[in-house]
Amino acid sequence: MALSAALAPVVDKELGELPAWDLRDLYPAPDSPELNRDLEDCAAAAKAFQKDHQGRLSDLKGDKLASAIQTYEKLQEVLGRIMSYAQLIYQGDLSSAEAGGLYQNLQERTTEISAALLFFTLELNRISDGDLQKKLKDESLAHYEPWLRDIRTFRPHQLSDELERFQHEKNVTGRGAWNRLFDETMAGLRFPIGQETFTLAEVLNRLTDRDGAVRKSAAEALGKALKDNVSTFALVTNTLAKDKAIEDNWRNFARPVSSRNLGNFVEDEVVDALVNAVTDNYPSLSHRYYGLKAKWFGVEKLPYWDRNAPLPEDDDSIVTWDAARERVLSAYNAFSPDLAAVGKSFFDNAWIDAPVRPGKASGAFAHPTVPGAHPYLLLNYQGRVRDVMTLAHDAVRRRQADV
């Protein structure tokens, strides 16, 4: 089956017409001349950039360093566009050999291209604070001061150039490959219930059904399928955990969470305080809530398959796509017409992929792509109120972050 950059909307008898995204704003097609040209041009430009600048950054004056950053920024924009395109096609059908092949091929090619650019941030981090402050007196370089500040937070954890390049190049067959194995395994799972078989998104949706028997059968089917694949999931988890432990040790991170916290520019102690505040309040919040829910259901202890059950007085009627659109836009318009306009752009353009499909990534996400394009939103819309909330949250939050 040939891959396409545009998917057709799906008409559901209960939900109405569900939109599918059109990725042609990124590239016309997986085999398009535009995509191949960007790959070739970017590869040549990256090698030229490396030849012109490697080993010379500390000698550049502020304006020349700013010009180099601008070139680097443009190259990263192209690489980001390429990988956003590959990832979105892949997430649309994780079970497709064609989509997987495209993703693998483009990941390998962009990794090879970006390896030539790896020196840039490493050398920037080796410029002394005093020397950099002198360069930052130039107005054109001062524009990039926040970015320079952010990348320099990783200076204490930077490895040698050779080790950094090794880490970079092996990711395709290392951590990235294990994550891909997990994603494809999850997308390929099917959950038989009675005479029907469901995808992961569909069986999770049944855990919120009004009928307790439906919730129970869904929970049992989910548990069985996960148990049947427990050896694969255990291998993936243990391998990724050990891989992270090795890298954290080499980079001298104090704790497993430290690298993520540094990437979010927040101190370990702040996250510790947040975690402790949440766990300390388990009894007064989550435990109390589940106790009340068990009481509302007339049982002493809530069965695990009823954790996400609608409350007895809840309105769990199906919300059509058109109704969801109206709810989201009217709610935001009452709060902020500007936010409503942002959300409307997602509906007016083919930026949302809403239908449930076999092989499609479960859950939902908003992918930002690159500054020169626009975000895309993946949903598995099944008409629940939580689906409407997800739609409202991801569309406006993601676009507002980019404008």
Per residue in 40-80, pLDDT (tens digit) is 999 999 999 999 999 999 999 999 999 999 999 999 999 99
pLDDT at residue 395, rounded to an integer: 65
pLDDT at 112 over 90: yes
- Look at the chain and count its residues: 403
- Per 3-state DSSP, what percentage of the chain is helix, strand, and coil (rounded to 5)? 65, 5, 30
Contacts of 362 (CB under 8 A, 6+ apart): 186, 187, 199, 200, 201, 204, 380
Mean pLDDT of 11-32: 96
User: pTM above the 0.85 mark?
Assistant: yes
pLDDT at 340 over 70: yes
pLDDT at 400 over 60: no
- All structural domains of the chain with their residue ranges: 20-170, 321-402
pLDDT at residue 154, rounded to an integer: 95
Mean pLDDT of 177-193: 96
pLDDT band at residue 1 using 50, 70 and 90 as cut-offs: very low
pLDDT at residue 315, rounded to an integer: 81
Contacts of 53 (CB under 8 A, 6+ apart): 60, 68, 119, 120
Question: Which helix (H) or strand (E) is 229 found in, with range?
Answer: none
pLDDT at 402 over 90: no
pLDDT at 401 over 50: no
pLDDT at 201 over 50: yes
pLDDT at 28 over 50: yes
pLDDT at 140 over 90: yes
119-123, Cβ contacts within 8 angstroms, sequence gap of 24 or more: 119/50, 119/53, 119/54, 119/161, 120/49, 120/53, 120/57, 120/68, 120/72, 121/151, 122/158, 122/161, 122/164, 123/54, 123/55, 123/57, 123/58
Cα separation, 392 vs 352, in Å, equals 12
Tokens of 326: 């109206």
Task: Give whole-number Cα distances, 285 to 208, 302, 333, in Å.
Answer: 21, 16, 33
pLDDT at 269 over 90: yes
pLDDT at residue 403, rounded to an integer: 47
Helices (H), 252-297: 258-263, 268-280, 288-296
pLDDT at residue 169, rounded to an integer: 94
Tokens of 97: 């050999």
pLDDT > 70: what percent of the chain?
97
CA angle 392, 394, 395 (to 5 degrees): 70
SS3 367: strand
Question: Which helix (H) or strand (E) is 365 found in, with range?
Answer: strand 365-367
pLDDT at 12 over 70: yes
Average pLDDT, the chain: 94
Return the CATH class of domain 20-170: mainly alpha
